[in-house]
Amino acid sequence: MGGGVKGNLEALLLMFGKQPSKPKRITEEAKALHLVKKEKIRNLTKAERAEFRRDLDEIKQGVHSNKWRNRRWLSILTINLLFTLSFWIDIQLFEGSIIASRVFGFHMADVYSALQVILAYKMVFVNLIIGTVTVIIIWLLFGGRAFCSWVCPYHLLADLAEIIHLKLVAKKLIKDHPFHRGVRTIFWIVFALLAFILGYALFNSINPVGIVSRALIYGPSLALIWILLLFLFEVFYSRRAWCRYVCPMGLTYGLTGALSPLQISYHLSDCHHEAACNAVCEVPHVLDCVKKGRANKVKIDIGTDCTLCGACVDVCPTQSLRFDIKGLSLIS
């Protein structure tokens, strides 16, 4: 994992599908800490090792703090209900849906969905440009992929599917089937090309984010059948498949937030390497630096593909993973 810049080249390559690898250069301070930790691990008693394994098993089964999860669920529900209530009582403060809206008179448009429209119609619409610029500025400040875990209405369903999926895996009733993360980049390109060639924004029609948002606001439609199929696929076959391997919105927000001041940072000196954070992370490749011997600095900013969901912060017993704004710790 690369060093101190959230949007560095290595972090961007990981987001596009590159596999994490051991760092080529490690600072002397980090090397010294790695040696100390290696000795501590070697001297662990059998009882201490057994306790670590029990703790990790409990975490994998969902037995841990969910403080940050509860906060983001509240955020998702609040934001999406504001759109619903605004439509129902016709106060016109939150118009449209999560994908394309006008909030307090300001146009907002999801960047990738807007690109789909522009490519399909071969025209640049002023409102779309205004909306996308507004959204880019917002998520440049608030962490890019934070949209995925703090605003996206499909995220709640993905969370529920993941909870059920992990329980079934723990009972050995099913197996998880991961895909290569690089396919998300391929989907990003394919959906863009299809919009340009077909003159039709196909992605916008099947995008679960838009479908769930419109269903909440305007009522259910047959498109929810697709959401049900996707939900079942994630429950029984592949954990968080849409978010990890398909959604071009997530990739776009990752790029948008590459220079964001809001991030999760990793502090090597406090880490006991329990692997709890990897077990709960929505995008575990961004936490490759927490593995034994992988950190190349004593403080590392977690990469731009991080959704800032806070799950790793919830489970870390030593607060080695923290929310930061330019070095200002936001642990609680």
> What is the average pLDDT across 31-56?
78
**pLDDT beyond 70 at 43:** yes
Nearest in space to 288 (alpha carbons), one of 9, 5, 23: 23
**pLDDT beyond 80 at 8:** no
> What is the average pLDDT across 105-123?
94
Which pLDDT does position 60 carry in this prediction? 67
Which pLDDT does position 62 carry in this prediction? 66
Which pLDDT does position 54 carry in this prediction? 76
Which pLDDT does position 52 carry in this prediction? 73
Which pLDDT does position 3 carry in this prediction? 44
Looking at the chain, the whole-number percentage of residues with pLDDT higher than 70 is 95
Which pLDDT does position 319 carry in this prediction? 87
Which pLDDT does position 5 carry in this prediction? 46
- CA 197 to chain CA centroid, nearest Å: 30
Looking at the chain, the whole-number percentage of residues with pLDDT higher than 90 is 63
Helix (H) or strand (E) holding 299: strand 299-301
> What is the average pLDDT across 146-170?
95
pTM of this structure: 0.88
Chain segment 48-75, per-residue pLDDT in tens: 777 777 777 777 666 677 899 999 999 9
Chain segment 183-220, per-residue pLDDT in tens: 999 999 999 999 999 999 999 999 999 999 999 999 99
Tokens representing residue 206 in the block = 């099947």
Alpha helix ranges (H) inside the chain: 9-16, 28-42, 46-60, 67-88, 111-121, 126-141, 146-150, 154-170, 182-198, 202-206, 208-218, 224-236, 241, 248-256, 276-280, 311-315
